[in-house]
Structure 1
Amino acid sequence: MSTPVETPAISEIRGPRKLGPLTPLVGDWEGDVGIDLSYHNTDDITGHTSYFEKATFTPIPIQENGQQTLWGLNYSMTAWRHGEEAMDPFHDEIGFLLWDKANGQIIRNVVFGRGIAILAGSSAGENDTELHFDAKPGDPSYGILQNKYLMQRAEIRDFTSTFTVIDDETISYTSDLLLRLAATGAEMHHTDQNTLRRVKRFHPGTGA
């Protein structure tokens, strides 16, 4: 008598994961526990702000650069201060997250509404659940640009960000901009963090 083959649980079975470590991010997300630490020009103080946030990560067509093939997502993240949800957001960003499987690299190409553009990245494995995006001014690959006004008043010295996949329905992130403030002559860390929960999956049955 043959020994029956045990079928693994559905959670243990993985598809081709063409988006690599970006695969779990696909969908619409919301988070209500955001904390922003920044310099408040009006009050001339550094303080915390709590916020609500919406994020969307949508697959894009394959991107090909000669022999390089990139899979990825376009994304947007928008945040409102608590108590101002019906007003204009205080933070808005759009960009792309890209997966270069052959070279083991993840890339974050992001533009902030304040006139800042960053191309950040690092090494990553296909099933990594902690994704790091790093950039420095002047780096020819992973660098930072900002408009002249900000360069003179809040020059960005460094950018680090991490996305963490907690489970199938929960992700978190941290973001850190090291700034040199003209107002104080000192450096400070402008940080943001939030935990997001999936509110919509992108699937043929959802009409997305």
Structure 2
Amino acid sequence: MLPIPADIFTEPEDVSPDGLANLGPLRRLAGTWQADKGIDVNPKAEGPERRTFIERIRMDPIDPQANGPQLLYGLRYHIHINTPEEDITFHDQVGYWLWEPATGLIMQTLAIPRGQVLLASGKAGPDDRTITVTAKRGDTAYGICSTDFLEQAFRTDTYRCDITFNDDGSWTYLIQTELFVRGAPFNHRDTNTLQLVAPPKLNPLAVIASDRAKENAAAGGGSAA
């Protein structure tokens, strides 16, 4: 993290509108992804349960975001998971992946429709082949917040997401959440390797900038390239 400047209000002026071009290591996550061999290990009354799941993830670039002088680029994502045995959604998750080029800070926001949210963080360079983000219960910066029921019955103490970008363009994640269930710790694990099924689209501001460049080129008789 950079030192907090005296001027916390003025936003950067020379900001590239192209979200895809400024995602750093997150660029490899952009697009729509799918896989059918995910593995989930979760707690049950009779002991750990291992499930295979089918996963689809869509990650769309967003416009640049500024917290005063802090500039972030990112992806808005939606994860939908089913199992071969059931029609009902097994897991649904939304959030953002964010990157701060000035510091290498990576953040993941996560929200699930069972009453839990978190903000995880890590560091990475623009060409790194692996990224890791973590969050911890009770941390006021990068923490975990759960409903009363989850806090008492399935307390989440830590969250860790490790992503590896593979040579064939796919990427593999391992998510580990350290739970506290019925007086004992439990390491809840999810892993999968995703394949690209659709390329990403431009973020809204980049589309506007591209269209405007084409209009100006047409009006001037030149090229928008």
The TM-score range, normalised by the shorter chain, is 0.7 to 0.9
Cα pair 1:24 1:168 within 8 Å, conserved: no
Deviations 1:42-68 (A, max 9, x none): xx3211000110000100011000000
After superposition, residues 129-168 of structure 1 pair within 5 angstroms as: 129-167=129-167
Which residue identity lines up with residue 91 of structure 1 in the other structure?
A: H
- 1:76 maps to 2:74: no
The equivalent of 2:107 in structure 1 is 107
Unaligned runs of 5+ in 2: 1-19, 203-225
Per-residue displacement from partner, 1:99-129 (whole Å, max 9, x unpaired)? 0111210000110122110100111111112
Structure 2 letter corresponding to 1:25: L
Counterpart contact for 2:80–2:92, Cα < 8 Å? yes
TM-score by length of 2: 0.78
State the alpha-carbon separation in 2 of the partners of residues 63 and 168 from structure 1: 31
Q: Which amino acid aligns with 2:169?
A: E
1:35 corresponds to: 39
Paired with 1:126 and 1:151, the residues of 2 have a C-alpha distance of: 36
Tell me the distance in 2 between the aligned counterparts of 1:79 and 1:169.
Answer: 21
Q: Distance in 1 between matches of 2:176 and 2:149?
A: 20
In structure 2, what is the Cα distance between the partners aligned to 1:25 and 1:98? Answer: 11
Distance 1:179 1:201 in 2: 35
Other-structure match for 2:54? 52
Identity %: 33
- Per-residue CA distance 1:126-177 (angstroms, 9 max, x = gap): 1112110101011121110011100010111111011211135311111011
- Partners of 1:203 and 1:81 in 2: how far apart? 28
By how many angstroms is 1:21 displaced? 0.5
Higher strand share: 1
The structure 1 segments of at least 4 consecutive aligned residues displaced by more than 2 Å after TM superposition are none
Match of 1:180 in 2: 180
Name the Cα RMSD after superposition.
Answer: 1.6
Matched, 1:189 2:193: no
1:203 Cα shift?
4.7
Q: TM-score, normalised by structure 1?
A: 0.84
> Which amino acid is 1:198 matched to?
L
Distance 2:147 2:30 in 1: 31
Q: Does residue 90 of the first structure (1) align with residue 94 of the second (2)?
A: no
Amino acid at match of 2:63: P
Distance 2:90 2:167 in 1: 28
Give the gaps of 5 or more residues in structure 1: 1-15
Counterpart code for 1:28: T
In 1, Cα distance between equivalents of 2:123 and 2:117: 21
